[in-house]
């Protein structure tokens, strides 16, 4: 594996998990040794299995879902729905031996952009040991 591998991480975060001041909606940021695309959602329950698979097919090396903690979900059970869907994608990735660690969920609140980047960095560290996403489409025949 190349030392030059910089994982591309997509962070799908619930807008209610931030402090309200975070203006990182659909922003691409460069972190130390990784790139992160921060995508704000109205609720983590909007994360669908098909969407996560498409993100991986599109070339992301990992996905980090961020939902509200415990009983603080504004939509009551959105975070538990997101957690179940995230776990299903992890199971699928494990079955095909692409690495369940490519996808994970965490529950936090009061996050700022720096916190989202720290979370993305931890996912990048987990993904880095797996190498580039095998689903990544290349232009080579």
Q: Give the pLDDT confidence score for residue 12 in this predicted structure.
A: 92
In a domain, 31, yes or no: yes
Name the pLDDT band for 113 (thresholds 50, 70, 90).
confident
> What element of type H or E holds 128?
helix 113-128
Residue pLDDT, tens place only, 68-96? 766 665 555 667 788 889 999 999 999 99
In a domain, 47, yes or no: yes
Q: Give the pLDDT confidence score for residue 1 in this predicted structure.
A: 44
Strand 103-107 versus strand 8-14 pairing type: unpaired
Strand 34-41 versus strand 8-14 pairing type: parallel
Q: What residue numbers bound the domain in which 65 lies?
A: 8-128
Strand order in the sheet with 8-14: 27-31, 34-41, 8-14, 62-67, 103-107
Cβ proximity of 74 and 68 under 8 Å: yes
In this structure, what CATH number is given to the domain that contains residue 97? 3.40.50
Q: Model-level pTM?
A: 0.86
What domain count does the chain have?
A: 1
């Amino acid at each position: 594996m190349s030392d030059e591998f910089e994982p591309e991480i997509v962070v799908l975060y619930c807008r209610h998990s931030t402090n309200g001041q975070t203006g990182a909606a659909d922003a691409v940021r460069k972190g130390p040794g990784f790139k992160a695309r921060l995508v704000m959602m109205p609720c983590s329950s909007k994360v669908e299995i098909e969407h996560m698979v498409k993100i991986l097919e599109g070339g992301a090396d990992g996905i980090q879902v961020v939902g509200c903690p415990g009983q603080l979900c504004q939509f009551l059970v959105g975070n538990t729905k997101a957690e179940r869907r995230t776990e299903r994608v992890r199971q699928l990735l494990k079955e095909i031996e692409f690495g369940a660690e490519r996808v994970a969920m965490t529950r936090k609140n009061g996050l700022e952009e720096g916190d989202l980047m720290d979370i993305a960095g931890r996912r990048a560290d987990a993904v880095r040991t797996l190498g580039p996403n095998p689903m990544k489409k290349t232009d080579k025949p």
